[in-house]
Structure formats: C-alpha cells, structure tokens
C-alpha cells in the first residue's frame, strides 16, 4: 500500500484475508483497528513507525494466523491482546525495542509455531516465561505419552543479554531445550558484565542470586526545618543492587505497594488524542495490573480502563479539540492520589499548519484558473482597448457584406482564434493606429465629453 499512510485505512472489504502495509508512517494500532475484517488471516505491518499497540487492537481477529511487526519501534506489547487471536501461528517481533518479557507473556499463544524476538533490547527474562507457554507444556505432555509433537521455532539471538545470576534460570532452559522446540540460532551471546561479554550461554556457569539485604544505622530520623540530614542505607545482594531514594507524601518511605510511586508522562499529543507512558516500582512488575482514570477535568466521575501486566503505555483517541482533560494511573482499583495524574488541553481543531495548507491550496487553484484562460485573451487584454474594438468592428462590417476571412469559409469564434491569427483580432499595430485614435479623439472633444477610462477587462 501507499508509503504515505499514517493510519489503518477505512473501508477495507470485510472478506479480505491478507493485509500488507510496509515502509509506511503508521505510528499506532488503535482499538478495533481491524474489527470490520474478521476474516483476516495474514497481517504484515513491517518497517513502519509503530510505537503503541492498543490492548484491543486485534479484537475480532479469531482467524488471524500470521502477524508480522518486524522493524517497528515497539518498546512493549500488550500480551493479553492475543486472547483475541487464538489461531495465531506466526508472531514476528524482531528488530523492535522490547526490553521486558513478563512471565505470562506467552500464555495466550497456545498454537504458536514460530516466535521471533531477535534483535530487541531484552537483557534479563525468567525461565517461567517459557514454562508458562502452552506450547512448551503441550510438548512435555505429548513426549511423556510418546506421541508426535509439532515443531515450534524460537528466535532469541541478537539481544544484549546480561549474564549474571538473574539470567541463570533462562540460561539453564536454553541449554536444556531441544526438538520439538527449535532455536533458530542456538548460539546466544552475553553482552555483559565485562568478564562474560562475548561468551556463549553454554560457556558460562551462573550462580544463584542473593536476595537483597537492607539495613540502616538509624531507621527513624527527625530533623528540624532548615537543617540538613544524612541518610545511610546499607545493601548487600548478588548481583550488586541499584539503590535509589523516593520522596513521597512529604517524608521518605520505603517500598510499599499500596503507596507505590508511579511516574506518568505524555509522549505524544495530537488534536484528537494522546499517548501515555508510565513507570512504577512494584514488587511483582510482571503481575501488576493498572487502572487508568480518564475524563474531562470537571467531570467528577472518570472512565476506568484496566491495563494488564507488562504494559506501560496507552493511547486515547477521539478527544474533543480545545478541551481540558485529566488522566490518572493507579495500581489495581486504587483511588488516584496527587502525583499520579496529568491535566492537559487538546489543541485547536484547525492548526496553523492546516491553515497554511489551505492557503497554499487556494493559491494553486487561482493559478490554475489563470493558466486555463485562452492565450488569445492575454494578447487581447494587453492591447489598447480602442485598437481591439476597432478590429472587432471591422470584422463585423466585413461579415455583414458577406466577405470571408482568410483560410476559407470556416467560421471563427473567440475561443477558436489562435494568438496572432490572420484575422488580426488583437494584433498589436504600429503607431499609425495610435495616431488615428488621437485624431479621432480631438475631433470629438468639442462636442462630446471624454469618456471615463475603463479597465481593459471591461471589454469582456
């Protein structure tokens, strides 16, 4: 399809089975993108600029067997969206920006035979991701019964794997799998830490992680207003932990899921919609559900949208222009608190860019109209009005006497006269014509007042 597409086209035939939109400018897959094409079986959206995929973007595609999203800019995928595609067999997500794979990511892909997650930003994933995969569970059951099992191809290479204790379970899984689970490239490589960079998974021996131990010299600190305080936190863990402080509710608190910190921001805004991203610190990020509270700023009751685990972005469309809205992100069904909401105003319905585009269109139309005027008119309108009228009168007199114009008996009209034709309708004469006109004016001057000057366009 056309490379200028910026959204999924409307009016696609309902019985179409294959759609291929590549190297275009698609940036998102909104809710119900293909809801009217329930017969769709093959969907290729490679090499676009898709950054957001709505939770219900694949709604009603129960027959979809192949989904290819190679070469886009997806940093996360709403894995629960695949509940609407039970027949999916091929899922291609290579060359995106995926950096997290939740433990239940593959739960709704029971019939998958090809999964490509290569060339993303995956660093650490749990072995539970694949242990929870219905395809893997089915292969284990059928193997124990001695029944034939269909192959499933898995591509995980070209990711920046961090080979420390957190990856131990996944490395063991990779070492243990074999047909019918087939790795497209079994030589997965460590990217860090430095002592293991460049080594293959089967060359490293990773130890178990040590759960972080936290201690502080003084758990409670009281400080007078205006004075400084030094806070000391001692951490011991393997791999080495990352420590940060979070300031909430006017005093420092440790982690508590009921008061978890959520950082929300708008990553994209148009006249009719926005795209949100949020980041939070939770104990089990792979199992955390979020609630979006969305509505007009003055509305006391907001719409609630539930977001599944592993998703940290959402797009809202069909907003009213020049309207004030408020959106909040909370854990589960919690009530929004200060710091978890954003207030924004949508843009004007007609932007300055659209106004400039309309002005350009008007100029182009005017130019086209000018160019469409016959060349003879330009020649005529640039002559002295008296010269042109004199020639026209002369032609009329000749026609009354039955004289024919040069070139035969062919009837001539204004539109059929070429520029500089033999009829001489608007041919520029020499100074003789001007001299005659001047003499005529002087003769009429005593008896008749000089007529008011008219624009040459008045002749027509």
pLDDT at residue 41 is higher than 70: yes
What pLDDT shows up at residue 361? 58
Give the closest residue to 312 by CA, choosing from 51, 122, 118, 129: 51
pLDDT at residue 183 is higher than 90: yes
What is the CATH architecture of 257-345?
Sandwich (2.60)
Which contiguous run of DSSP H or E holds residue 154? strand 152-155
Query: Tokens in use for 277?
Result: 């991203």
Average pLDDT, the chain: 77
DSSP conformational letter for 127: T
How many helices (H) and strands (E) the chain has is answered by 7, 22
- Which residues, other chains included, contact 149 with Cβ-Cβ below 8 Å and sequence gap of 6+? 138, 139, 142, 143, 180
In the chain, the N- to C-terminal Cα span, in Å, equals 49
Which contiguous run of DSSP H or E holds residue 343? strand 341-345
Token pair 């950054």 is found at: 51
pLDDT at residue 457 is higher than 70: no
pLDDT tens digits for range 211-264: 778 887 777 778 888 888 887 888 887 777 777 766 554 434 344 445 566 788
DSSP conformational letter for 376: H
pLDDT tens digits for range 77-121: 999 999 999 999 999 999 999 998 988 899 999 999 999 999 999
Question: For the ranges 23-37, 155-169, 201-215, which has the lowest average pLDDT?
Answer: 201-215
Q: Using CA atoms, how far apart are residues 238 and 337, in angstroms rounded to an integer?
A: 35
Mean pLDDT of 25-45: 93
Which contiguous run of DSSP H or E holds residue 393? helix 385-400
CATH class of 18-203: alpha beta
Question: Where do the H-state alpha helices sit in 106-149?
Answer: 128-131, 134-145
Residue 149 near residue 181, CB atoms below 8 Å: no
Mean pLDDT of 118-138: 92
3-class DSSP state for residue 26?
Answer: coil
Q: Using CA atoms, how far apart are residues 329 and 305, in angstroms rounded to an integer?
A: 10
Q: Using CA atoms, how far apart are residues 29 and 46, in angstroms rounded to an integer?
A: 13
Give the closest residue to 282 by CA, choosing from 113, 459, 100: 100
What pLDDT shows up at residue 66? 97
The dihedral formed by the CA atoms of 393, 398, 399 and 405, expressed in degrees to the nearest 10 = -110
3-class DSSP state for residue 104?
Answer: coil
Q: Using CA atoms, how far apart are residues 160 and 128, in angstroms rounded to an integer?
A: 20
CA angle (346, 347, 353) in 5-degree steps: 155
- Which residues, other chains included, contact 313 with Cβ-Cβ below 8 Å and sequence gap of 6+? 51, 52, 75, 76, 267, 275, 276, 277, 278
- Which residues, other chains included, contact 362 with Cβ-Cβ below 8 Å and sequence gap of 6+? none
Q: Using CA atoms, how far apart are residues 387 and 57, in angstroms rounded to an integer?
A: 72
Token pair 């791999």 is found at: 239
What pLDDT shows up at residue 259? 58
Q: Using CA atoms, how far apart are residues 83 and 58, in angstroms rounded to an integer?
A: 9
Token pair 């400018």 is found at: 25
Question: For the ranges 78-82, 282-286, 357-361, which has the lowest average pLDDT?
Answer: 357-361
Query: Tokens in use for 369?
Result: 């109209």
Which of 82-91, 146-155, 336-345, 415-424 shows the highest mean pLDDT? 82-91
Strand 90-92 versus strand 114-116 pairing type: parallel
- Which residues, other chains included, contact 402 with Cβ-Cβ below 8 Å and sequence gap of 6+? none
Residue-wise burial string across 36-60, b where 16 or more C-beta atoms lie within 10 A, e elsewhere: ebeebebbbbbbbebbbbbbbbbbb
pLDDT at residue 434 is higher than 70: no
Q: How far is CA 145 from CA 16, 139, 378, in A?
A: 41, 10, 92
What pLDDT shows up at residue 62? 95
Domain ranges of the chain: 18-203, 257-345, 377-402+419-441
pLDDT tens digits for range 361-373: 566 666 656 565 5
pLDDT band, very low/low/confident/very high, at 401 (cuts 50, 70, 90) = low
Which contiguous run of DSSP H or E holds residue 293? strand 290-296
Q: Using CA atoms, how far apart are residues 354 and 306, in angstroms rounded to an integer?
A: 35
pLDDT band, very low/low/confident/very high, at 309 (cuts 50, 70, 90) = confident
DSSP conformational letter for 144: H
Packing angle, helices 431-444 and 385-400, rounded to 10 = 90
């Amino acid at each position: 399809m056309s490379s200028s597409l910026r959204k999924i086209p409307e009016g696609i035939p309902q019985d179409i089975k294959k759609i291929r939109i590549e190297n275009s400018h698609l940036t998102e897959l909104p809710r119900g993108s293909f809801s009217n094409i329930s017969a769709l079986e093959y969907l290729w959206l490679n090499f676009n600029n898709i950054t957001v995929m709505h939770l219900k973007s694949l709604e009603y595609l129960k027959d979809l067997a192949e989904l290819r999203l190679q070469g886009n800019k997806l940093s996360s995928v709403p894995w629960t969206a695949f509940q609407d595609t039970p027949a999916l067999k091929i899922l291609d997500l290579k060359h995106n920006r995926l950096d997290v794979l939740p433990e239940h990511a593959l739960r709704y892909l029971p019939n998958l035979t090809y999964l490509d997650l290569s060339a993303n930003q995956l660093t650490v994933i749990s072995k539970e991701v694949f242990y929870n995969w219905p395809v893997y569970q089915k292969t284990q059951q059928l193997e124990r019964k001695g029944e034939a099992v269909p192959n499933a191809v898995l591509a995980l290479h070209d990711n920046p794997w961090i080979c420390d204790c957190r990856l131990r379970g996944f490395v063991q899984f990779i070492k243990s799998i074999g047909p019918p689970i087939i790795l497209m490239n079994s030589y997965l490589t460590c990217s860090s830490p430095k002592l293991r960079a460049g080594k293959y998974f089967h060359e490293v021996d990773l130890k178990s992680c040590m759960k972080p131990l936290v201690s502080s010299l003084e758990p409670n600190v009281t400080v007078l207003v205006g004075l400084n305080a030094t806070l000391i936190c001692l951490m011991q863990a393997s791999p080495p932990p990352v420590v940060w402080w979070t300031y909430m509710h006017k005093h420092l608190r440790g982690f508590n899921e009921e008061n978890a910190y959520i950082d929300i921001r708008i990553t994209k805004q148009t006249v009719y919609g926005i795209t949100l991203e949020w980041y939070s610190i939770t104990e089990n990020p792979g199992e955390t559900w979020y609630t979006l509270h969305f509505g007009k700023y003055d509305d006391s009751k907001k719409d609630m949208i539930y977001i599944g685990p592993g998703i940290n972005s959402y797009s809202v469309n069909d907003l009213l222009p020049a309207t004030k809205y408020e959106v909040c992100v909370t854990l589960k069904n919690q009530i929004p608190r200060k710091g978890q909401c954003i207030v924004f105003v949508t843009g004007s319905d007609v932007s300055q860019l659209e106004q400039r585009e309309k002005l350009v269109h008007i100029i182009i139309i005017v130019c086209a109209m000018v160019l469409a005027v016959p060349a003879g008119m330009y020649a005529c309108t640039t002559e002295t009005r008296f010269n042109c009228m004199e020639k026209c009168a002369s032609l009329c007199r000749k026609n009354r006497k039955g004289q024919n114009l040069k070139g035969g008996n062919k009837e001539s009209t204004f539109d059929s006269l070429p520029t500089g034709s033999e009829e001489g309708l608007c041919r520029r004469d020499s100074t003789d014509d001007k001299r005659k006109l001047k003499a005529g004016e002087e003769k009429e001057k005593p008896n008749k007042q000089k007529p008011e000057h008219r624009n040459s366009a008045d002749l027509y």
